Structure 1
Amino acid sequence: MIEEKKILQPLVEVFGFSIENESDRAKRYRANKLCPFNNIVSNCTKNSIEFPLGVCSLNHKDKRVIICPIRFREDWTIISDAANFIFDDKSAWTHVGEVRLNDKFGKSAGNVDYVLVSYDDKGRVLDFGSLEVQAVYISGNLTGPFTAYLEDPSPSFSWTHAFKYPKPDYLSSSRKRLIPQIIAKGSILKQWNKKQVVALQTSFYNTLPSLPEVNKSESDFAFFIYDLVSEEKSKTLSLKLQRVVYTKYLAVKETLLFDENDMSFYLLENEFLMRDFVQQFEEIEVYEQ
């Protein structure tokens, strides 16, 4: 049982599989440093292409915490879930990853993790929305237990070293990534009246202040909250949607920001900058889902 090991070592998944999974497929992925979660290449590339730190998720206080954003790509569930919020049921849509977003001065406000695009029967863009994925930063030493496990991969692996024991850093994850993204990219997308989605885990969401909720039909911003659910028979973990929080962008910004900043730097003055953003993905070949 995965739960029985949690107090003994920090690793949940290595190269896509629970360390308890001794199947031939799991062993092949570990031996070849592969990623089963739709990475841009077949191999894991976390931290390094040559020597990837292939830990997908971490044990912490009886929770399986995702620390790699690629882990959220399992079966592209996050994409189809987000599309059900952003578009109506009859829309044909696709998605594009890592799309550059500029402010009104032409300077980068960062890349959008995924832009979901709806299109007509001639492939012309009708609408779009955004999806940001929020894995969790860690503090402590993850390389030590990871290296020790690879030297002797076993379901009975243990690592009880207290010095710099790896753990999730939720505060840094929100202050250094989530909140700045909501400020910079979110304000621009709000000006365009586009719906926004953030995908994250329950344990991360629960560290945020309580947010006001509205009906789905009134919402322009939603948190899709996932967790890793154990399949005991196959010793696999699957990404499952647990809850959706429908809210409003302005309410999110006001709730999460302790010091309100002047957002005029990010606001757009005309529709031409939105057209420049759309041009990055409007000529791709799209296929109905």
Structure 2
Amino acid sequence: MGSLEVQAVYISGNLTGPFTAYLENPTPDFAWTQAFKYPKPDYLSSSRKRLIPQIIAKGSILKQWNKKQVVALQTSFYHTLPALPEVDKSESDFAFFLYDLVPDQKTQVLSLQLQRIVYTTFASALEQIAQFEAGPISQFTAILQKKLDAKRAGAPDLDHLDNTVAE
């Protein structure tokens, strides 16, 4: 017995901006993905705000009970996480099941298929995923200064602190 956590990727943006832009220029070759605030995967929020708390809350209990934990993710989401040390299945108490939607050319249907299983340990997965890479403080302060200068010049505040940290 154990647990299975399924974590989808959140999106940032919405279709209001692209739809408004389309209404202003309704052409057949309209570039939806280039429009303002077109939805895109928000891997940082998905991992830091949702996945890590779930792993900590459920995983620490399961670890005490000597039970295993599995997290099912889209392969592209997994690749945004820090590299995890892999162990043999027999040594593992934690695993990532990596899935993708795979098109069937014959039927023109997408099917969810398991692509790979990454076996690791709870302790090493948590340590790697929860670790924040600080980077040089000079780079961080330069970004903040740039944003402050833009704000003083009257530029709209379109970015959030999450974007500042991710830059």
TM-score normalised by L of structure 1: 0.40
Aligned pair in 2 of structure 1 residues 160, 242: CA closer, same or farther (>3 Å)?
closer
Residue matched to 1:204: 77
Q: Deviations 1:209-258 (Å, cap 9, x if unpaired)?
A: 11111111111100000111111121110111111000100111111122
Identify the residue that residue 215 of structure 1 maps to in structure 2: 88
The Cα offsets for residues 170-228 of structure 1, whole Å up to 9 and x where unpaired, read as: 00000011111111111111111101000001100000011111111111100000111
Alignment of 1:117-136 (within 5 A): 128-136=1-9
Q: Secondary structure of the residue that 1:250 maps to in structure 2?
A: helix
Extract unaligned runs of 5+ from structure 1.
1-127, 147-155, 260-289
Aligned-partner Cα distance in 1 for 2:66–2:60: 10
Give the ranges of 4+ consecutive aligned residues of structure 1 lying more than 2 Å apart after TM superposition. 142-146, 156-161
Structure with more of its chain in strand, by fraction: 1
Match among 48, 62, 65 for residue 192 of structure 1? 65
More helix as a share of residues: 2
Asked if 1:243 corresponds to 2:116, the answer is: yes
Which SS does the other structure have where 1:164 is aligned? coil
How many angstroms does 1:143 deviate by? Answer: 6.1
Residue identity matched to 2:35? A
Counterpart residue number, 1:87: none
Query: Percent identity between the aligned chains?
Result: 78
* Partner Cα distance (1:129, 1:160) in 2: 40
User: Quick one: structure 1 residues 143 and 233, their matched pair in 2 at CA, closer, same or farther if it must change by over 3 Å?
Assistant: farther
Which 5+ residue runs of structure 2 have no aligned equivalent? Answer: 20-28, 133-167
Who is 1:149 aligned against?
A: none
The residue aligned with 1:172 is 45
Contact 2:97 2:114 (8 Å CA) reproduced:
yes
Distance 2:33 2:122 in 1: 43
The structural deviation recorded for 1:162 is 1.1
Q: Provide the aligned length of Structure 1 versus Structure 2.
A: 123
RMSD: 2.1
Which string of whole-angstrom CA distances, capped at 9 and with x for unpartnered residues, describes residues 75-120 of structure 1?
Answer: xxxxxxxxxxxxxxxxxxxxxxxxxxxxxxxxxxxxxxxxxxxxxx
Q: TM-score, normalised by structure 2?
A: 0.68
Distance 1:251 1:228, change over 3 A: same
Cα distance between partner residues in 1 of 2:100 and 2:35: 27
C-alpha separation in 2, matches of 1:161 and 1:256? 31
